[in-house]
């Protein structure tokens, strides 16, 4: 045992950042057992469970109907995980977590091409403890895979610009292919924009026009072939189909154009009222607690570019600054935006933050540096304040446990302040400690309590536990995808007219209005079996979080049973 401890200690001392990333991977395990959130994550889990059951891997279906929205990589990986580990919360989230860890390692290695190990390692850790990264581990969507694979592809393409090895092109093509299989052409745009702008800034025309680059799209296309074949069979051969209001859609055109660029051109009806500033606002929380430092880093880089500062430092910034800016502009031009669309750009932001913190922050005018320190201190202090408020007013943690939990962070802050480290290192350690501390609170206490109000999960789990037969459980109203996932079936719908014909013992899930009418009009046929509080947990509102007003925001769903 002593020898093992010495070996581990030696390994950590000599490889601190790989060891830190390993520890982060273990930390992420806290999120895996938490219930799956409606709507998107539960929808993807339900589709994957359906795919694992019907074995139809090339033609994606949802509740037996055609599904065209997202490429199939997430469903393929989750189906494989289900086959190995069974259908569980953790087996659904595991593939995304592993790809996100690949994204952290790729961010570290890409930054290491241009910066020292401290900046590169700090960038990976900064990315790892952004709230958006925690969210991608817990609330699994296609953006997690996109983030991991675009970071990997960017690392490989940048490596080729330096070392000119074909292996980097091969791996870069695979990374782009997998990123496109995760979420479409944006998986190509992000790494190519970052690498291309880097080469343009260097004016390295020889590398830009190197014909070996053609290997990248060729390899990416080979990765896409199974999906393209499935789309052709499912849609292009069937012009009579209508999906998302599109008559006779080409599945291949939908993948390469409509689903992504169609949101800019108006080729698809998905639209909202968000303006071009949408992501600048949403990133405030998703990039916490680093957003202010990112804004300062980004503006400082822009200032250097305007002044035409051409140094090795400025050259290193180009792949992060232009990669972020070009892709953000493209995403902001879309007519339909959600906060998580910008998450794949966070690896670039993390590198910019680390480089600014350790290289440029001390060069700011003293007044600006003091102001930035004050603002960043307020942001970090807001984290324990928020946890205390949630622990008292939303989901009580208990006085003793809250004091003990806050004591851990207080001790960490005290040790950081009293250490002999540089100001930059102290800011990095304070922000990382506060963020991981918040992440642990969310994983162990907040999310488990919050998901207790996702009623369809509770209903589905009860139906599965009681082994209710397939023909003895129906839903009268539209329901969330978590019901299908936790009931381990596609829950069929019924109608009020058909209630009299259902077999005795049948369970029916209804809302309050239908429950009242059925029990009033058919008291001899149906009885109330159980009641479940229900709330759209992905759309939190202050009134729901407050215990005193939560009841006003809850809706209830009911299981009635035929006698």
Beta bridge partners of 533: 556
The conformation of residue 213, written as its DSSP 8-state character, comes to G
Q: Please tell me whether residues 276 and 339 are part of one structural domain.
A: yes
Query: Which of 335, 361, 387 represents a domain boundary (last residue)?
Result: 361
User: Above pLDDT 90, what percent of the chain?
Assistant: 46
Beta bridge partners of 49: none
Q: Please tell me whether residues 349 and 386 are part of one structural domain.
A: no
Cα 386 to Cα 241: distance, rounded to the nearest angstrom: 50
Q: Please tell me whether residues 328 and 210 are part of one structural domain.
A: yes
Cα 287 to Cα 493: distance, rounded to the nearest angstrom: 41
Average pLDDT of the residues in 406-432: 88
The conformation of residue 493, written as its DSSP 8-state character, comes to B
Q: Please tell me whether residues 349 and 368 are part of one structural domain.
A: no
Contact 511, 555 (CB under 8 A): yes
Cα 356 to Cα 95: distance, rounded to the nearest angstrom: 32
265 pLDDT more than 60:
no
Cα 159 to Cα 164: distance, rounded to the nearest angstrom: 8
- pLDDT category at 269 given cuts 50, 70, 90 is low
What digits encode the pLDDT tens for the residues 85-128?
Answer: 999 999 999 999 999 999 999 999 999 999 999 999 999 999 99
Please provide the size of the chain in residues.
563
Contact 548, 396 (CB under 8 A): no
Q: Please tell me whether residues 392 and 497 are part of one structural domain.
A: no
Cα 425 to Cα 419: distance, rounded to the nearest angstrom: 10
Q: Domain limits at 510?
A: 455-562
Query: Which of 394, 424, 451 represents a domain boundary (last residue)?
Result: 451
Q: How many CB atoms lie within 10 A of CB 5?
A: 9
267 pLDDT more than 60:
no
- pLDDT category at 302 given cuts 50, 70, 90 is confident
Q: Please tell me whether residues 428 and 288 are part of one structural domain.
A: no
For 267-281, the three-class secondary structure string (H helix, E strand, C coil) is: CCCCCCCCCCCHHHH
Q: Please tell me whether residues 377 and 418 are part of one structural domain.
A: yes
Cα 305 to Cα 325: distance, rounded to the nearest angstrom: 13
Contact 50, 79 (CB under 8 A): no
2 pLDDT more than 70:
no
Q: What is the CATH number of the domain that holds 476?
A: 3.40.190
Q: Please tell me whether residues 353 and 389 are part of one structural domain.
A: no
Average pLDDT of the residues in 339-358: 91
H runs (alpha helix) in 488-555: 512-521, 542-545, 547-553
pLDDT of residue 450: 92
> Is the torsion defined by CA of 99, 387, 408, 415 positive or negative?
positive
Q: Please tell me whether residues 57 and 109 are part of one structural domain.
A: yes
Query: Which of 399, 434, 451 represents a domain boundary (last residue)?
Result: 451
Contact 340, 41 (CB under 8 A): no
Burial of residue 258 (CB within 10 Å: 0-12, 13-18, 19+) is buried
What digits encode the pLDDT tens for the residues 380-394?
Answer: 999 999 999 998 998
Q: Please tell me whether residues 288 and 304 are part of one structural domain.
A: yes
* Residues in Cβ contact with 452 at an 8 Å cutoff, skipping those fewer than 6 apart: 458
User: Above pLDDT 70, what percent of the chain?
Assistant: 93
The conformation of residue 211, written as its DSSP 8-state character, comes to G
pLDDT of residue 467: 92
Q: Please tell me whether residues 248 and 342 are part of one structural domain.
A: yes
List the beta strands (DSSP E) in 213-354: 242-243, 246-247
pLDDT of residue 446: 93
Q: Please tell me whether residues 557 and 432 are part of one structural domain.
A: no
Number of domains in the chain: 3
């Amino acid at each position: 045992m002593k020898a093992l401890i010495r070996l581990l200690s030696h390994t950590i001392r000599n490889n601190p950042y790989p060891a830190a990333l390993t520890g982060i991977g273990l930390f992420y395990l806290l999120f895996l057992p938490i219930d799956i959130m409606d709507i998107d994550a539960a929808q993807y889990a339900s589709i994957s469970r359906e795919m694992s059951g019907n074995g139809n891997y090339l033609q994606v279906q949802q509740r037996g109907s055609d599904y065209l929205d997202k490429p199939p990589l997430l469903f393929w990986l989750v189906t494989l995980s289900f086959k190995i580990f069974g259908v569980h919360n953790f087996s659904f989230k595991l593939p995304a977590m592993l790809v996100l860890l690949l994204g952290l390692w790729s961010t570290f290695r890409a930054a290491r091409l241009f910066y020292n190990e401290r900046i590169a390692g700090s960038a990976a850790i900064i990315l790892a403890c952004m709230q958006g990264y925690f969210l991608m581990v817990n609330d699994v969507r296609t953006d997690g895979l996109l983030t991991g694979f675009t970071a990997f592809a960017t690392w490989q393409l940048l490596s080729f610009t330096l070392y000119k090895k074909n292996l980097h092109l091969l791996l870069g093509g695979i990374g782009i292919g997998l990123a496109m299989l995760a979420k479409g052409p944006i998986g190509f745009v992000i790494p190519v924009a970052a690498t291309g702008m880097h080469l343009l800034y260097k004016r390295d025309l020889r590398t830009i026009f190197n014909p070996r680059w053609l290997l990248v799209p060729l390899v990416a296309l080979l990765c896409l072939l199974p999906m393209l074949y499935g789309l052709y069979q499912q849609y292009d051969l069937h012009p009579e189909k209508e999906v998302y209001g599109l008559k006779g859609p080409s599945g291949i055109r939908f993948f390469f154009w409509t689903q992504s660029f169609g949101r800019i051109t108006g080729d698809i009806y998905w639209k909202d009222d968000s303006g071009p500033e949408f992501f600048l606002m949403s990133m405030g929380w998703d990039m916490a607690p680093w957003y202010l430092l990112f804004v300062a880093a980004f503006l400082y880089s822009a200032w250097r570019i305007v002044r035409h500062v051409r140094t090795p430092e400025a050259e290193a910034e180009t792949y992060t600054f232009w990669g972020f800016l070009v892709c953000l502009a493209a995403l902001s031009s879309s007519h339909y935006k959600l906060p998580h669309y910008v998450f794949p750009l966070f690896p670039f932001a993390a590198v910019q933050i680390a480089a600014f913190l350790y290289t440029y922050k001390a060069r700011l005018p003293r007044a600006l540096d003091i102001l930035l320190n004050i603002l960043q201190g307020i942001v970090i202090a807001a984290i324990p304040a928020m946890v205390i408020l949630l622990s008292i007013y939303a989901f009580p943690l208990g006085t003793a446990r809250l004091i003990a939990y806050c004591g851990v962070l207080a001790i960490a802050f005290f040790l950081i302040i009293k250490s002999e480290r540089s100001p930059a290192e102290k800011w990095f350690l304070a922000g990382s400690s506060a963020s991981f501390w918040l992440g642990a609170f969310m994983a162990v206490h907040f999310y488990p309590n919050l998901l207790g109000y996702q009623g369809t999960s509770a209903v589905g789990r009860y139906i599965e536990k009681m082994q209710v037969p397939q023909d003895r459980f129906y839903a009268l109203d539209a329901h969330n995808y978590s019901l299908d996932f936790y009931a381990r079936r596609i829950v069929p719908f019924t109608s009020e007219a058909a209630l009299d014909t259902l077999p005795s013992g049948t369970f029916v899930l209804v809302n309050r209005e239908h429950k009242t009418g059925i029990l009033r009009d058919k008291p001899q046929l149906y009885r109330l079996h159980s009641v479940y509080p229900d709330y759209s947990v992905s759309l939190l509102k202050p009134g729901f979080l407050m215990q005193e007003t939560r009841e006003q925001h809850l809706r209830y769903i009911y299981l009635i049973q035929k006698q």
